[in-house]
Amino acid sequence: MIPLQAIAETGTTPGGALLVLGIVMPAVALVALIGLGGRAARMIVAAALLFQLYVAVRVALLVAGSATPLAYVVGGFQPPLGITLRADGVSALMMVVSAVIFLGAASFAWKDFAQARGQPEARLSLIFWSALLAMASALNLLFTSTDLFNLYVGLELLTFAAIPVVAIKGGAETLRAALRYLLFAVFGSMLYLFGIVLIYGAYGTLAISAIAAQVQPNAATLAAAGFVTVGLLAKTALFPFHLWLPPAHAGAPAAGSAVLSALVVKGSLFLLMRLWFDTFPSLREPADMQLLAFLGALAVIIGSVTALRQPRLKLLVAYSTVAQIGYMFFVFTLVPKTAGDIVASAAWTGAWLQVVAHAFAKAGMFLAAGLVAEVLGHDRIRDLGGLSARAPLVVLTFAISGLSLMGLPPSGGFSAKFMLLAAALAEGHWVWATVIIAGGVLAGAYVFAVLARMMAAPTKAAELASIGRTRQLIALGLASVSVLMGLMPLHPIAFFEIGRFP
Amino acid sequence: MMETGFDVVLALMLLGVGGWSIIARNMMTAVIIFIAYGLLLSLAWVRLHAVDVSLTEAAIGSGATGLLMVIAAHKVAGDSQRVVRLSRGFHVLAAVFATLVAIGIASLAFVLPGAPVSLAAPVLERLPESGLGNPVAGVLFVYRSFDTLLEKVVLLLALIGVWALARDQDWGGVPGLRLFQHPHSVLMLLARTLPPIGFVFAIYMTWAGADVPGGAFQGGTVLAAMWILVMVAGVRRVPRVSSPLLRLAIVAGPLVFLAIGFLGFVAPGVFLAYPDGLAKPLIVVMEVALTLSIAVILGLLIAGPPRAKDSA
């Protein structure tokens, strides 16, 4: 075993306490919310999420300013006994993205989950806002922890916060979706836990950097990596583990779907990248990574084709998430074991841009789909006619989110897919390059199919409900971020490389 | 020799009882056998010198989980039309899959590097600094208290998850726990005589947890069992989920835990670190608050979501 002093890497850095606050303050707010009751919920949530944004921006500025990661040794015990939090470039990026999307989703949900003045506590209010706070805490934990068991706690918290959001509407269909989600997620948790038990048995530590320093390609380690990977794939809904996602994401209220699709599936994906790039970098054999990319390719094709065949808008948007997640798995094969050249950097940047652009585009699109269902009283794609005249902002939101999903310029989705494509071609992976292009064409097909319906003449004179302008602007704002990202130069971004484990 | 014989018998019983719970035709029978299986398993943990794990297995794995399964089996049995019967082929497939998993796990135990690598030595080495005697408590409340804190937040979310299943119009009401109020039943006798003993036992388990196996989770489970007993027998009313006092009991543990965590920022200057010499008293305060919260949350998880107000 390595002596303790050798394992202890960096201690707490200036500003490291921000990482603790990012995880703990939403938990403080959650305790206050349950203790004081749902009537105080919105004020508590607003304060917590604004603080969350402040913390995330400060972390990003500190990481960018020093070009080194932030770290905090919780409780003062260095690994392997204790737990260290650490924010590198991509942690800081994801903290900011999640803080912004949480604020957007919460503002969108502000009226829906309100609490009537002078009335007793409402169920919706308590459940929704509690779950939102817990998800915010869990995601920051997943983005910054460097301890495999601590990360497991983060996964559990995220799962148990996401399921009430799926189940919140009640009714047989959503409960079935929530139960299916629960079964997949618990299956994933068990595999992950079993994998890290093996790792602890083999290396006597759960700290990522300590494992990376001594990892050997022996049977126990490979089995552990396999278990952990399959467990995380189940939670990330990569094909063929995607079956739980569409009913769950389509069954939640719009603001919930936005957070689930934009952020929650990225939590386990983030951990998967931590695992293969930081914990077991030396185990990244091309053949195994090709398998992940192959599943990603199948997800792109099958997810998009299935999206095309959906009769309901929210299900179409959910299947589009299945497809868009697939792109993110090309990173495992496009960033080779011995990184460092410009092609690998382009693939790395492309994958993270895809994560971020999809987060904003999908948040905007799910909110737009929610508004569509509210205006028309249904979300049958066949009967969307006349929407462009009655709710032009909603149609615009759907269109510009679609731009990023298709990967048309200018959009973050374009930059992401272009860089992934360039890396795939430079490394001679013409199969993945073909899939990236085909996926864009298929996304174009399902986005335009919906837009064409929205622009068509009304099928029947239906009673239309009115929707507030504020919520339309929130959806549009989130979708616009995905387009504005396209104005950045097509260049590997140095910030994403800060503090990558060597 | 005697001990080996005991271990062999225990292992055979585990296999036998485990197999029996799988092939049992009746769901309720299977659940009861599963509870017995959990108790045998907790004996196995004692034989492996993992007494803390054993207590948790008996309390949570067998006790609380078993009770939840009894309730679920009872509900399903009362609604036999909606029970989905799985085909024989599915059963065979599940059996093959489970056997393969078991063989895979068993064989992995042999591929781990020869000498077990463990942090036991450094854990024991630094334990005296905290004033604790139980190394498991040391891991839970000193070295990795951050995990323990977040696990308590997970427990809050488990309750939110159960409460999410309520209907809007029933919200604020009383959990739909099935009551058996018969003034002359054995249950009533137990509900009146057992709680004082259970209460003392729970306090002892929590208190002793600092130095010997035990602690907030085990103590809290015993307390929860007592609470459920008096509620089911109708000795005490089931509280409304919106009751402010109940809410306070739910969050007391996490609240005290967080407060002590933040106290660390003041002295000695690190989150979740304890001021010099105060580690043990602060941990005991934390454990007491956690015992209360764990007991109330487990009780509420078993009591279920609030039901229509008139049926209460």
> Which pLDDT score is estimated for A296?
96
Which helix (H) or strand (E) element contains residue A70?
strand A70-74
Residue A7 has pLDDT above 50, yes or no: no
* CB contacts, 8 Å: B123 with chain A: 81
| C-alpha dihedral sign at A34, A269, A64, A404 | negative
> Which pLDDT score is estimated for B117?
74
> Which pLDDT score is estimated for A6?
35
A223 to B108: CB separation less than 8 angstroms, yes or no: yes
DSSP class of residue A145? Answer: B
Find the range with the poorest average confidence among A83-92, A243-252, A463-472, B154-163: A463-472
Smallest Cβ–Cβ distance between B156 and the set A20, A34, A83 belongs to: A34
The Cα–Cα gap between B181 and A63 comes to 63
* CB contacts, 8 Å: A219 with chain B: 108, 111
Residue A4 has pLDDT above 60, yes or no: no
CB-side neighbour CA atoms (13 Å) of B146: 36
- Compare all CA atoms of chain B with the CA of A223 and give the residue at the minimum distance: B108
Smallest Cβ–Cβ distance between A120 and the set B142, B151, B242 belongs to: B242
Residue B114 has pLDDT above 70, yes or no: no
Q: Are strands A83-87 and A70-74 parallel, antiparallel or unpaired?
A: antiparallel
Distance from the B198 Cα atom to the nearest Cα atom in chain A, whole angstroms: 27
The Cα–Cα gap between A245 and A264 comes to 11
More confident residue, A499 or B113: A499
Residue B311 has pLDDT above 50, yes or no: no
A306-312 mean pLDDT? 95
Q: Which of B269-302 are b and which e, b meaning 16 or more Cβ less than 10 Å from the residue's Cβ?
A: ebbbbbeeeebbebbbebbbbbbbbbbbbbbbbb
- 3-class SS at A76? coil
Other CB atoms closer than 10 Å to residue B36's CB: what's the count? Answer: 16
The Cα–Cα gap between A41 and A116 comes to 12
Domain spans, chain A: 286-502
User: Which residues lie closer than 8 Å to B182 by C-beta, 6 or more apart?
Assistant: B188
B8-32 mean pLDDT? 89
B147 to A123: CB separation less than 8 angstroms, yes or no: no
A163 to B161: CB separation less than 8 angstroms, yes or no: yes
Other CB atoms closer than 10 Å to residue B249's CB: what's the count? Answer: 20
> Which pLDDT score is estimated for A502?
57
Residue A422 has pLDDT above 50, yes or no: yes
Place of tokens 């470039």: A89
Mean pLDDT for chain A overall: 91
Find the range with the poorest average confidence among A152-166, A227-241, A401-415, B296-310: B296-310
> Which pLDDT score is estimated for A285?
84
What are the C-alpha distances in Å from B178 to residues A165, B247, B312?
27, 22, 9
Residue A17 has pLDDT above 70, yes or no: yes
> Which pLDDT score is estimated for A355?
96
Residue A115 has pLDDT above 90, yes or no: no
DSSP sequence for B224-283 = HHHHHHHHHTTSSPPPPTT-HHHHHHHHHHHHHHHHHHHHHHHTTSSTTPPPTT-HHHHH
B300-312 mean pLDDT? 76
Place of tokens 């467990």: A231
The Cα–Cα gap between B311 and A159 comes to 32
Provide the CA B239 distance to its chain's centre, in angstroms: 21
Whether ipTM tops 0.95, in short, is no
A127 to B251: CB separation less than 8 angstroms, yes or no: no
More confident residue, A8 or A501: A501
> Which pLDDT score is estimated for A494?
87
Residue A185 has pLDDT above 90, yes or no: yes
| C-alpha dihedral sign at A371, A374, A379, A383 | negative
| C-alpha dihedral sign at A366, A371, A374, A377 | negative
The Cα–Cα gap between A251 and A371 comes to 14
Which helix (H) or strand (E) element contains residue A31?
helix A17-36
B43-55 mean pLDDT? 92
Q: Which of A29-66 are b and which e, b meaning 16 or more Cβ less than 10 Å from the residue's Cβ?
A: bbbbbbbbbbbbbbebbbebbebbbebbbbbbebbeee
* CB contacts, 8 Å: B251 with chain A: 31, 34-35
The Cα–Cα gap between A25 and A28 comes to 5
A24 to B271: CB separation less than 8 angstroms, yes or no: yes
Other CB atoms closer than 10 Å to residue A252's CB: what's the count? Answer: 31
User: Which residues lie closer than 8 Å to B243 by C-beta, 6 or more apart?
Assistant: none
B150 to A153: CB separation less than 8 angstroms, yes or no: yes
Which residue, A96, A122, A112, is CA-closest to A38? A122
- 3-class SS at B68? helix
The Cα–Cα gap between A66 and A94 comes to 18
B144 to A149: CB separation less than 8 angstroms, yes or no: yes
> Which pLDDT score is estimated for B187?
87
